[in-house]
Structure 1
Amino acid sequence: MNQPTTKSWQEVLAAFKKIWGYEDFRPPQGEIVSSLLAQKDALIIMPTGGGKSICFQLPALLQTGLTLVVSPLVALMENQVQELLQSHQKAALLHSELSSFQRRTTLQALERQQLRLLYLSPETLLSPPVWEKLCQPELQINGLILDEAHCLVQWGDTFRPAYRRLGAVRPALLKSKPPGTKISIAAFTATADPSAQKIIQTVLQLQQPEIFRLNPYRPNLHPSVRIAWTPRGRKQQLLKFIQNRPQQSGLVYVRTRRDSEDLAQWLAEMGYATASYHAGLGATERREVEASWLSGKILFVVCTCAFGMGINKSNVRWVAHFHAPHLLSEYVQEIGRAGRDGKPAEALTLVSEPTGWLDSGDKQRQEFFQEQMRSQQQIAQQLVKKLPKQGEVNTVTRQFPEGATALALLHSSGQLNWLDPFHYSIAQKAGNQPATQLNAAKQMHQYLTTKQCRWQFLLNAFGFDKEAANLRCGHCDNCRQ
């Protein structure tokens, strides 16, 4: 049976100083650490660059037993684990790109209880060899951390359906552990509006969570939106923006892999040392691009949303969205990579003119996104007629290629319960269609076209109405006009 760790605050601060070299916490880091050491459930919303990872790494390292960190991207896990290993901490990671030797070594360390932190993706957590090890009664598990928890909301219905099964993990693990065992769950993210917070709490089945919310406002970050009248004009505007910022580090965000490669090539022809980055690249190529950018060998990367989560570079002076993201939460995540050193930074977004006559690109991207959401919903509703009322997820996915997505969508509309992380039961009634993504896309469009202070709009959108009242930041394009 695992009892909450009773460490004096002196010991906690001493460990904090020894591992990270800081004298004291920034609020609310200390309260979050206390809460996790007391093994309480928690939901933490802190801006990018606010020191979130320390809040769960420190409690994990101070306890005997294991803390699982569920993380969406390999790059994110590797960066955090590398830093921990450099300071000689007992951390490891498991993901699909590891060699079988590396996997075996980590699984052995897990079995011998030599780890304090294990990073893995939702898919790896629920893979049979890993799940089997985690369910061994003698393996002490203290907590489950969901890092970048907005991914559960953004991707859980369609792109990464395993996220929707995470709520069944704790009850299933507790069944295999000695009576009286406690496993706490904490979800960390930089962006979650009130509806996303509710989804995270419901899906993870958080029990009376302590909620820590820091507002995302950054006075040094200057957002602006500019109209690009033609595809050629869009490129010229971006080029001019980069030319006006010589020797400054930045990021250019695009929607697709192909856009990333085409634009990087064009900018290279214009004489810039840059690179394309997207999820289709191999692990080695991705690391090389990250390292070149972090070291300043290349000043900017042309990337999709696959780049940046958990990558820490404090002196990024600008982020340009060559294409606007579909969701406001993605946008806030991405602009939050600029100006982490507190010095002024620019966030530019280029959009087509509203009619879409001269450049229909933005309109087409938006329509394609909405069409995709609708068709996945329809597939799920058709599939529900063919699926057994109770079943096992792997059997369903072998039989129906869209099976995993359909189950996630049914769970999201309240038509399905997970009996454990692998078995489901479908309720008779048709649920309400989850409109989260489509509503969020509408909100993004409102942001791009608003005439009000952009920071005021963002604070309202993320539920910080009190802070938003009467705010005029004075440094976004709308305030400056």
Structure 2
Amino acid sequence: MNYQTAKSWQEVRVAFQQIWGYEDFRSPQGEIINTLLAQKDALIIMPTGGGKSICFQLPALLQTGLTLVVSPLVALMENQVQELLQHHQKAALLHSELPSFQRRTTLQALERQQLRLLYLSPETLLSAPVWERLSHPQLQINALILDEAHCLVQWGETFRPAYRRLGAVRPALLKLKPPGTKISLAAFTATADPLAQKIIQTVLQLQQPEFFRLNPYRPNLYPSVRIAWTPRGRKQQLLKFIQNRPQQPGLIYVRTRRDSENLAAWLAQMGYDTASYHAGLGAVERRGVEASWLGGKIPFVVCTCAFGMGINKPDVRWVIHFHAPHLLSEYVQEIGRAGRDGKPAEALTLISEPTGWLDPEDKQRQQFFEKQMRSQQQTAQQLMKKLPQQGEVNAVTRQFPDSATALALLHSSGQLKWLDPFHYIIEQKAKNQLITQLQTAKQMNQYLTTKQCRWQFLLHAFGFDKEAANWRCGHCDNCR
């Protein structure tokens, strides 16, 4: 259905005003909505807080039929669905932590075609009960949206291998639907460098996608990097920073669950009201921490990368990376949690001195990350010799416990093709044995040690070379 024949642009704007109460679209929201209503594929890169979700929610609500939103985190889905339900819209979510009665209700609503938007993780989308219902010939599916699409690149090879199977979803569904059916595919993210864009496009099999790219520059975000000479010095710098900003909302990012718990406990001993947050916490605990932080009961949270995606708190005044992330895309995502209200916000990263003599922790973390990547690659290549050349994912993972990751890595190196989301065929030769994550990890190190304007470095890294020429932001530590 083309919106031009069925819905005038005036009606689109009226719906936007009625549901969200805004006067008009921000550029390029209107153009993106237009593209999705015309059922074209798209890749959208817009900074955090740029109003991405409205771009796919509005087209979904204006059309009959279902839009599937694939989202990486439960918190992210819950926030968006809650908001839509407050606006009395037909939206629901499915994830593994749902009570069974709620799951049943949603699956029934899906069967009866009562939903406009259904949020689910890649794993849930590919689970038997959900796939069975989506496959029904009479169920009209308009679009497949991949929200936070950088997760496909960041996590798809190892941590969440189901992401690598998403490209096979559309062709498989189209085979089961009436002839002439169209399902559009759109990927949304705040950060994707040129390599990540290419991976997203290839894995999802986007067809002549419309491309929307806003550069990540935020004039109110002040990035800086400071050397902490010893582990004790790192804690002292953190403490001093927090003391100088009493009661200002902030976030402290660390790399592991253990770091998050230990640092939160130490800050509590120092008299600070805070909490640890990571993916290992139960759903109730996670919601509790989010609510306390959003409601201002605790000024800051000590968290891993599991926190913050899609959690909207406009007045975050600072983000500290107590440990630097491995990837630049993660870094930009995480500092983007600050200053969404447009007022000045600080983004400080603490690093060990480059030699690692006085504090080898940063170097060890980096080496551990690289070693893990290499060993996963080797395991995949060894497993390839044992795996059946053609197979069904669930049967193979039952027989070989590590095979889900191995299949994703083989797909990434061009040695495997998905026949549909559940069946693969191995094609022997490696086409591009690139260790993507390792290349991008080097870039993060360059950023931390650069003497040039930090925003200029980021613009270059994310492919905005024209904008980056002769750039000086004037408000990062190197410019100051």
Per the normalisation by structure 1, the TM-score is 0.99
CA contact (8 A) 1:277 1:304 kept: yes
Q: Report how far residue 396 of structure 1 moved.
A: 1.0
Q: CA deviation at 1:431?
A: 3.1
Matches within 5 A, 1:77-476: 77-476=77-476
SS in 1 for 2:346: strand
- Provide the secondary structure at the position in 2 that maps to 1:77: helix
Equivalent pair of 1:224/1:349 in contact (CA under 8 Å): yes
User: How much has 1:470 moved relative to structure 2?
Assistant: 0.5
> Does the 8 Å contact 1:61/1:89 carry over to 2?
yes
Secondary structure of the 2:136 match is coil
Deviations 1:332-372 (A, max 9, x none): 00000000011000000000000101111100000000000
Q: C-alpha separation between the residues in 1 aligned to 2:414 and 2:7?
A: 42
**Residue 88 of structure 1: how far off its partner (Å):** 0.5
Contact 2:2/2:37, CA 8 A, preserved across alignment? no
Q: Contact 1:4–1:39 (CA<8 Å) still a contact in 2?
A: no
Instruction: Give the partner amino acid of 2:88.
Output: H
Q: Secondary structure at the match of 1:478?
A: coil
Query: What is the CA-CA distance between 1:3 and the residue it aligns to?
Result: 5.9
Structure 1's consecutive aligned runs of 4 or more residues displaced over 3 angstroms after TM superposition are 2-5
Within 1, Cα distance between the matches of 2:306 and 2:245? Answer: 24
SS at 1:35 equivalent:
helix
User: What is the CA RMSD across the aligned residues, in angstroms?
Assistant: 0.8
- Is 1:63 aligned to residue 73 of structure 2? no
CA–CA separation in structure 1 for the residues paired with 2:195 and 2:125: 26
Q: CA deviation at 1:247?
A: 1.6
> Matches of 1:216 and 1:291 in 2, distance apart?
28
Q: State how far apart, in whole Å, the 2-side matches of 1:338 and 1:3 are.
A: 38
Residues 418 and 425, structure 1, Cα contact 8 Å, conserved in 2: yes
Count the aligned residue pairs. Answer: 479
- Mapped contact 2:255–2:325 kept (Cα < 8 A): yes
What is the distance in 1 between the residues matched to 2:137 and 2:434?
Answer: 38
1-side partners of 2:432 and 2:36: how far apart?
A: 35
Aligned equivalents of 2:9, 2:311: Cα separation in 1: 30
Query: Which residue of 2 is the match for residue 72 of structure 1?
Result: 72
Amino acid at match of 1:377: Q
CA displacement at 1:266 relative to structure 2: 0.7
Identity level (%): 87
Which runs of 5 or more residues in structure 1 are unaligned?
A: none
Gaps of 5+ in 2: none
| Pairwise CA distance, 1:436 | 1.1
Distance (Å, rounded) in 2 between the aligned partners of 1:313 and 1:40: 32
Change (3 A) 1:4 1:400: farther
> Which one-letter code corresponds to 2:283 in the other structure?
A
Distance, in Å, in 2 between the alignment partners of 1:432 and 1:198 is 13
Q: Distance in 1 between matches of 2:436 and 2:222?
A: 28
Contact 1:3 1:182 in 2 (8 A): no
Provide the rounded CA distance (Å) in 2 between the counterparts of 1:175 and 1:290: 42
Secondary structure at the counterpart of residue 420 of structure 2? coil
Distance 1:158 1:259 in 2: 22
Deviations 1:73-120 (Å, cap 9, x if unpaired)?
000000000000011000000000001111100000000000000000
Code of the residue aligned with 1:60 in structure 2: it is A
Provide the residue aligned with 2:17 in structure 1: 17
Contact 2:40/2:185 (CA < 8 Å) preserved in 1?
Answer: yes
